[in-house]
Amino acid sequence: MTAQSALSRLLMPVAALPAEMNIADVADRLLTAECRAFLSLPVVDDAGRPLGLISRYTLQDIFMLRFGRDLHGRKPVSEVMNPAPLVVNLAMNLEEAAQQVTSQLSYPITEDFILVDGQGLYQGLGTVLDLLKAMEQRVAQRNAVLRKTLVDLKESQTQLVQAEKMASLGQMVAGVAHELNTPLGYVKNNVQLLRELQAPLLELAEAQTRLIDCLNDPACDEERLALALDEAARNRELAAPELLADDFEQLFADTLYGLEQIGELVVGLKDFARLDRAMSEDIDLNDCIRSSLVIARNNLKDKAEVVCQLGELPRIPCAPSQINQVLLNLLTNAAQAMDGCGRILIKSWADDAAAYVSVQDTGKGMPPEVLKKIFDPFFTTKPVGQGTGLGLSISFKIIQDHGGSIRAASQPGRGTRFLIRLPRAHAPLLQETA
Ligand SMILES: Nc1ncnc2c1ncn2[C@@H]1O[C@H](COP(=O)(O)OP(=O)(O)OP(=O)(O)O)[C@@H](O)[C@H]1O
Ligand SMILES: [Mg+2]
């Protein structure tokens, strides 16, 4: 629907009156069926330009005077018309028309408004009531569009949160897979080595068994015994078990260490995701810090030395997997902000009301104009394909949902510090973000 057609729909083609028409005749015209619905009638000049509006009430007042009709009935209508009527151009849109009419309208409403074309020529009359109805319809339509937009927005927000979750999950899985690879590699090597080393030992054991069998056998002659002794001695020399003890010890110890590392990563992964736990529970944030560090280890390895100063914390209600997502974001951002190799300092402490975690890096920092935008969705300074600009906006939302706050301070060239505050107890606002 165009704006023009919206106004044309309000247009009533009421015949305009010439300025010379007398008051009595106009009054009669007001009584006709065509004009009964209107509060006023338009008066135009010869060219069809509006000159004024004559109100039903003005005429009523005149005729209610004693001898009003006789005294004034012959006078031209131009004498009593309102010479500054409400005029609306048909090219206006509905909102502009409503604004113009309401700004000039006075109470009580005794007039309609004149609709003119682009040349200012009279086209018809419109009533204020119809204009209000059209506006109401327009508002209802807009509301419906807004409601739909809101639903769409919520949906795409959910999708974005999901996408970011998947991205951080992907990042995490890639990191953990990489971490698992190192211990897996040397556990495999060690086991292969152990297999090679055990072969001569097994042969020695077999030779010794044959020798014992021979010794225990009264029918075993000298020649067979000498052969068995010889074979056992040769195998012993080949296997050299006295030289193997230390190697075995070392290989088993290394293998066990590797397996422990694998176990630690698997537990870390499980702790990080906490898929098996409820949303709100009493959590030690230091555990979240530790499991996020296990997961981020691969990303941080060549980028930063991590120093932890973790204080004693009260257990607080939160969704650990969401808090882990925030911490992983902060750690990843810190690593990405390093030019060479820097330092990340993680501190935690508490007071009577809240627990705090700060993540401080010695990265390249941010100028104030970047700093003020970092929590905006899609704000990123990273090249296309490297950053979506959603990490911090989602982190902000997560911390906000926990009733807490997240703030950042930064100095270009020196580094950045993020401070998270999570209250010890908070309103039950915690919601699952899809
Ligand atoms: N520790 C930091 N040091 C310097 N700049 C930072 C730091 N953390 C965030 N920023 C700035 O804030 C911007 C927004 O960060 P955010 O985590 O929201 O998105 P991103 O890291 O660019 O992309 P994504 O996290 O989606 O991969 C970054 O592009 C970067 O400019
Ligand atoms: Mg990020």
Which residue owns the Cα nearest ligand 1 atom 31? Answer: 381
Is-contact 337 416, C-beta < 8 A?
Answer: yes
Which residue owns the Cα nearest ligand 1 atom 28? Answer: 380
CA of 163 to the centre of ligand 2 (A): 13
Phi-psi region of 74 (alpha: psi -120 to 50; beta: other; left: phi over 0): alpha
- Domain 3-126, what architecture? Roll (3.10)
Rounded to whole angstroms, what are the CA distances from 189 to 184, 186, 199, 254, 263? 9, 5, 16, 10, 18
pLDDT at 434: 37
Q: Which protein residues have a CB closer than 5 Å to ligand 2 (ion)? A: 333, 391
Residue scoring higher pLDDT (291 or 81): 81
Question: In the chain, what's the furthest Cα-to-Cα distance?
Answer: 165
224-266 confidence digits (pLDDT tens):
999 999 999 999 998 888 888 888 999 999 899 889 888 887 8
CA of 333 to the centre of ligand 2 (A): 5
Q: Say yes or no: do domains 3-126 and 274-423 share a fold.
A: no
DSSP SS3 for 349: strand
pLDDT at 433: 42
pLDDT at 368: 96
CA of 156 to the centre of ligand 1 (A): 21
Q: Given 3-state DSSP classes, what are the helix, strand and coil percentages for the chain, each rounded to the nearest 5?
A: 55, 20, 30
263/175 Cα distance (integer angstroms): 15
| Kind and range of the H or E run holding 113 | strand 113-116
Q: Which of 44, 119, 46 is nearest to 85 (CA)?
A: 44
The percentage of the chain sitting over the pLDDT mark of 90, rounded to a whole number, equals: 49
| Cα distance from N-terminal residue to C-terminal residue, the chain | 38
Whether 378 shows a pLDDT value over 90: the answer reads no
Cα angle, residue 289 at apex, residues 285 and 290 outer, rounded to 5°: 115
Return phi, psi of residue 251, to 5°.
-65, -40
Cis peptide before 108 (omega within 30 of 0): yes
Best mutation site among 162, 164, 333 for ligand 1, i.e. most ligand atoms within 8 A of its Cβ?
333
List Cβ neighbours of 186 (8 Å cut-off, separation of 6 or more). Answer: 254, 255, 258
Return the residue matching tokens 């070392």: 250
Write out residues with Cβ below 6 Å of ligand 1.
329, 333-334, 337, 361, 363, 365-366, 370, 374, 379-382, 387-393, 416
Best mutation site among 161, 328, 374, 418 for ligand 1, i.e. most ligand atoms within 8 A of its Cβ?
374
CA of 374 to the centre of ligand 2 (A): 9
Q: Which of 239, 9, 294, 228 is nearest to 138 (CA)?
A: 9
CA of 374 to the centre of ligand 1 (A): 7
Best mutation site among 380, 388, 399 for ligand 1, i.e. most ligand atoms within 8 A of its Cβ?
380
CATH number of the domain located at residue range(s) 274-423 in this protein:
3.30.565.10
The percentage of the chain sitting over the pLDDT mark of 70, rounded to a whole number, equals: 92
Q: Which ligand is nearest to the CA of 382?
A: 1
DSSP SS3 for 392: helix
- Atom of ligand 1 minimally distant from the CA of 393: 18
Which residue owns the Cα nearest ligand 1 atom 8? Answer: 333
Best mutation site among 166, 360, 392, 420 for ligand 1, i.e. most ligand atoms within 8 A of its Cβ?
392
Which residue owns the Cα nearest ligand 1 atom 7? Answer: 333
119-133 confidence digits (pLDDT tens):
999 999 999 989 999
Q: Which ligand is nearest to the CA of 374?
A: 1
Q: Which ligand is nearest to the CA of 386?
A: 1
- Among 1-15, 40-54, 142-156, 345-359, name the one with the lowest average pLDDT: 1-15
CA of 292 to the centre of ligand 2 (A): 15
319-328 confidence digits (pLDDT tens):
887 898 899 8
Q: Where are the domains of the chain?
A: 3-126, 171-261, 274-423
Q: Which ligand is nearest to the CA of 338?
A: 1
Cα angle, residue 122 at apex, residues 117 and 126 outer, rounded to 5°: 90
Whether 294 shows a pLDDT value over 70: the answer reads yes
pLDDT at 432: 45
CA of 345 to the centre of ligand 1 (A): 18
385-421 confidence digits (pLDDT tens):
777 788 898 899 889 989 999 999 999 999 999 999 9
48-66 confidence digits (pLDDT tens):
999 999 999 998 899 888 8
For 97, the token pair is: 């028309």
Please state, as a whole number, how many other Cβ atoms lie within 10 Å of the Cβ of residue 90.
19
Return the residue matching tokens 């998270």: 420
Q: Which ligand is nearest to the CA of 170?
A: 1
pLDDT at 76: 92
Whether 43 shows a pLDDT value over 70: the answer reads yes
